[in-house]
């Protein structure tokens, strides 16, 4: 009981024990395949993540589009779809002055009869 541990207020650790822990130099040899195993685990974690799945899907799509025949078919399909969708929404061209007069005319019955 003659030696009491040196303590700081609010600290319940023994400084002598801390010094002993710091002075201990234990070298644990790592297995030869340790680094390869770590990288393998990282690769598996990336493959199973949602981001990894999206990257593989996009890689497959862009890899397919990199082929000339596939890219040509895709461009032809997009142009055809654009022309088809563009032709669906065409309305007969009206004279702008006539359209304005019809929109402001109180005699035009386009706005509906039940609004009075």
Average pLDDT, integer, range 46-75: 89
Residue 73: inside a domain: yes
> 44 in a domain, yes or no?
yes
Tell me the pLDDT band of 49, cut-offs 50, 70 and 90.
Answer: confident
Does the residue 98 lie in any domain?
no
Claim: this prediction has a pTM higher than 0.85: no
pLDDT at 94: 72
Residue 62 lies in a domain: yes
Please tell me the distance from the alpha carbon of residue 4 to that of residue 82, in angstroms, as a whole number: 87
- Count of domains observed in the chain: 1
Is 63 part of a structural domain of the chain?
yes
* Within a domain: 110: no
Q: Are 16 and 6 in contact (CB under 8 A)?
A: yes
Residue 71 lies in a domain: yes
- Residue 92 confidence (pLDDT) above 80: no
Domain that includes residue 69, residue range: 35-87
Whole-angstrom distance, CA of residue 21 vs CA of residue 36: 31
């Amino acid at each position: 009981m003659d030696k009491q541990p040196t303590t700081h207020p609010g600290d319940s650790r023994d400084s002598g024990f801390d010094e002993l822990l710091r002075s201990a130099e234990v070298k644990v040899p790592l297995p030869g395949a340790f680094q390869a195993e770590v990288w393998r685990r990282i690769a598996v974690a990336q493959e199973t993540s949602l981001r990894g799945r999206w990257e593989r899907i996009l890689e497959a799509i862009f890899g397919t589009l990199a082929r000339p025949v596939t890219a040509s078919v895709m461009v032809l399909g997009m142009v055809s779809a654009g022309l088809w969708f563009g032709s669906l929404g065409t309305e007969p061209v009206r004279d702008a002055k006539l359209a304005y007069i019809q929109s402001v005319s109180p005699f035009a019955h386009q706005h509906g009869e039940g609004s009075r």
